Amino acid sequence: MRIGELSKRTGVSPRSLRYYEEQGLLTSSRSDAGQRHYSDAAVQRVSLIRQLFDAGMSSRVIVTVLPCVDVPGDLGVAEETFTAMMRERDRIDADIAHLIETRDALDVLITANSRHRAELSTAPEPVAQST
């Protein structure tokens, strides 16, 4: 199938499909006219790539994980994939911890601003001085 058909069947834009190829995530054959042609298995491959992106993995990491699909019976590949996924999970956990710290720091500033606003709303209006 051509790139437009793969795009239609997967809901992934042709631009993204070309990016997947550039990154080594997806392969196609080329016609004499240079048009990309994909096998029917590309539909499942694109679906898996989308799942991996949705799980927070970058294309660089996905390239290291896909061999587990391509060579499913290789324990060494499965172990490398597991290690890569755990490393990504640890990275996400660290990002979450950082976001929580950032949110907590913002909460401190919001509380201080709330107190300041409350003080301003109860303070007497300044009296204009006449000359």
Residue-number span of the structural domain to which 114 is assigned: 3-121
**DSSP state letters, 53-120:** HHTT--HHHHHHHTHHHHSTT-HHHHHHHHHHHHHHHHHHHHHHHHHHHHHHHHHHHHHHHHHHHHHH
Domain presence at residue 131: no
Q: Please state, in angstroms and rounded to a whole number, the distance separating the CA atoms of residues 70 and 66.
A: 6
Answer yes or no: is 128 within a domain: no
> Is the Cβ–Cβ distance between 91 and 60 less than 8 Å?
no
Q: Tens digit of pLDDT for each residue in 11-52?
A: 999 999 999 999 999 999 999 998 999 999 999 999 999 999
Q: What is the CATH number of the domain that holds 51?
A: 1.10.1660.10
pLDDT at 131: 63
pLDDT in tens, 60-118: 999 999 998 888 899 999 999 999 999 999 999 999 999 999 999 999 999 999 999 99
Q: Supply the pLDDT for residue 118.
A: 92
Count: domains in the chain = 1
Q: Quick one: average pLDDT of 120-128?
A: 79
Q: Is residue 97 part of a domain?
A: yes
